[in-house]
Structure 1
Amino acid sequence: MRESETPDTERVTGKRTMEPATRRTILPGGPPFTVDDLLTFPDDGNRYELFDGSLLVSPPPVPPHQFASLRLVRVLEDAAPPEFEPLPAVGLRAGRRDFFVPDLVVVPTEAVEETELMFRPEDILLAVEIVSPTTEARDRHLKRAAYAAAGIPAYWRIELSEGPSVHVHELAGDEYKPAERYDAGEAATLLAPFGVRFDPAVLVRPRA
């Protein structure tokens, strides 16, 4: 198998992670990849991210994941002042060889107006990841460390398998403080990047 070909099996080593795609794709170039390389990749339905030049490959999100993402966008839109915008699945260029696609972010409205392709770390006030079985280690460890290193003030991790629960990390120096956990059935009252209060259970609750 050539270096630029997506593998069939998951491989995890220290800082580098590659996960299976939904189908085999021949990618241009070879590792370590840059963000500029990523722009030449085919639009094959997979989500491509970079960590230190190594590919992080995810298949399209499953319906429960998308359902929760939509519900959270609605919660944040209802609470957000006009100067903030919640956005799903945007590009975040954290460095020449680091590129992520958070499930949801909150950015200043003026940054949306000024950004054509991808956001900078200083634009991101909140990054959110919704954990799925194929991204558990990535969302709980790798992305938490990467977002902290990029200086993103707040990171939320949504664990659907826990009812769901919301784990809230706030930046202290160059790393996040231990998470505050909010479970379904209790009110998560959060102040950053703006005040919002919601029951995590709403993320999996059908519309009335």
Structure 2
Amino acid sequence: MMATTEPVTEPKDERTVLAGRPPFTVDDLLRFPDDGNRYELFNGSLLVSPSPVPLHQLAIARLLRILEDAAPLELQPLPEVNLRVGPRDFFIPDLVVVPAETVEANELMFRPQDVLLAVEMVSPSTQGRDRHLKRSAYAEAGIPLYWRIELDEGPALYVHELADGEYKPADKHEAGETAALTAPFEVAFDPAALLRRRG
């Protein structure tokens, strides 16, 4: 009986080939493949994040619902929009609030002047950029409000308001207390609700 030989297959190269070369531009970024990663740019440097974990997605969905219920008709909360700050700066905030009229006018990108609030959910892979890099970039772009949500703290909500081109020290709202906020519109919620089980 003759032995049969299975065909030998070479291992596939799983590396993603990216268009352009550093420093990257937003136009380069638009030619990147859809490979499951989230690509952002800061001064031409590439920031790469994997898809959000389920708790991260849950917190975004819960906050989106809270803001949707409280927002006036002229303002619209949206998750994960493209935000073009300049030719070499591009971010994807976890959630934003924009004027409702800009939603129909923007097919692909929002500008900083469209954004009244940017929100980031801090995860282990994005701690440095959410706490420092994005806070500075959003302030420099003139975004009036930046909320940082630390999921590992209960969660806790940190509210940064723009003053003289910089964010003031954050007001911290801990899990178990109601954060009563007036901007970009009146809304009140306990940060713990972002991760609380249904039922």
Instruction: Pick the TM interval, shorter chain.
Output: over 0.9
Deviation string, structure 1 residues 122-167 (Cα, Å, up to 9, x no partner): 0000000000000000000000000000000000000000000000
Consecutive unaligned residues of structure 1, counting only runs of 5 or more, are 1-22
**1:57: which partner in 2?**
48
Match of residue 78 from structure 1: 69
TM-score (norm: length of structure 1): 0.88
Correspondence for 1:152 among 143, 149, 167: 143
Larger Rg: 2
Q: CA deviation at 1:207?
A: 2.1
Structure 1 counterpart of 2:178, one-letter code: A
- After TM superposition, the score normalised by the length of structure 2 is 0.92
How many aligned residue pairs are there?
186
Match of 1:19 in 2: none
Once the two structures are TM-superposed, the CA of residue 26 in structure 1 deviates from its matched residue by 1.6
CA distance in 2, matches of 1:87, 1:188: 20
- Deviation above 3 Å: which 4+ runs of structure 1? none
- Indicate yes or no: 2:109 matched with 1:142: no
Counterpart CA distance in 2 for 1:96 and 1:175 is 22
Aligned with 1:105 (options 93, 96, 102) = 96
| Equivalent-residue separation in structure 2 for 1:87 and 1:176 (angstroms) | 22
Shift of 1:64: 0.5
Deviation of 1:63 (Å) = 0.4
Q: Of 165, 184, 195, which aligns to 1:174?
A: 165
CA distance, structure 1, for counterparts of residue 183 and residue 197 of structure 2: 27
1:173 to partner: Cα distance: 1.2
Specify which of 60, 81, 90 is matched with residue 81 of structure 2: 90
> Which residue of the other structure, out of 192, 195, 198, is the alignment partner of 1:201?
192
Secondary structure, aligned partner of 2:62: helix
Mapping for residues 182-197 of structure 1, pairs under 5 Å: 182-197=173-188
Residue equivalent to 1:4: none
Match of 2:29 in 1: 38
Structure 1 residue 24 displacement after superposition: 3.1
Q: CA deviation at 1:206?
A: 1.9
The 1-side partners of 2:136 and 2:16 are apart by: 29
* Shift, 1:29, TM fit: 1.2
How big is the shift at 1:25? 1.4
- Tell me, in whole angstroms, the C-alpha distance in 2 between the residues paired with 1:199 and 1:24: 42
Amino acid in structure 2 at the alignment position of 1:69: I
Q: Give percent identity, aligned residues only.
A: 72
Partner of 1:128: 119
Tell me the amino acid that sits aligned with residue 193 of structure 1.
P
